[in-house]
Amino acid sequence: MKRTITLKLNNETRSLEIEPSDILLDVLRESLGVKSPKIGCERGDCGACTVLLDGKTVRSCLILAIEADGCDITTVEGLSVAQLTPLQQAFLEHGSFQCGFCAPGFLLSATELLEKNPHPSEAEIKEAIGGNLCRCTGYQPIINAIAAASRKTGRRA
């Protein structure tokens, strides 16, 4: 039986009908037209489908859309409407992507990290993105960008 859910997607309230068994990732991509969360493994291993759900990263392939009813969801499309975030800027400057398929997931994991911990150590950065897989870059350019974005937000307290 169809249900109606309402969620705030990238700061815009959206309502839609879904099946209770629908996966959040599929609903975002197919019903709501947000394509930056990618389908990589459909079992929570790769992190390409990462989104922020009420400010926390989740694997949208492991969540039912109905669980997101009433929640706030941010994808990369919602990060940079006005201008690039310092993190996106740092990703550009450090060449922190190659094919770019995993980049949205990394950006969101790093966004969450810097929200919680504006000045992470290298070990904390690695831990925070440890659930996102990248096959191209060897990770170092991503780690460097996150560290650089963190430095730009001021000195460690």
Give contact residues for another protein (rule: CB under 8 A).
29, 33, 35-36, 38-43, 45-46, 48, 75-77, 79-80, 84, 88, 91-93, 95, 97-104, 107, 125-127, 129-143
Annotate 61-77 with DSSP letters as a single string. TSSBGGGGTT-EEE-HH
Q: Which is nearer to another protein, 42 or 69 (CB)?
A: 42
Q: From the DSSP assignment, how many helices (H) and strands (E) are in the chain?
A: 6, 5
Residue 6 to residue 19: CA distance in whole angstroms:
14
Q: Which is nearer to another protein, 50 or 155 (CB)?
A: 50
Residue 148 to residue 89: CA distance in whole angstroms:
10
How near is the Cβ of 23 to another protein at its closest, in Å? 11
Closest among 133, 127, 140 to 94, alpha carbons compared: 140
Residue 62 to residue 55: CA distance in whole angstroms:
17
How near is the Cβ of 126 to another protein at its closest, in Å? 4
How near is the Cβ of 15 to another protein at its closest, in Å? 20
How near is the Cβ of 124 to another protein at its closest, in Å? 11
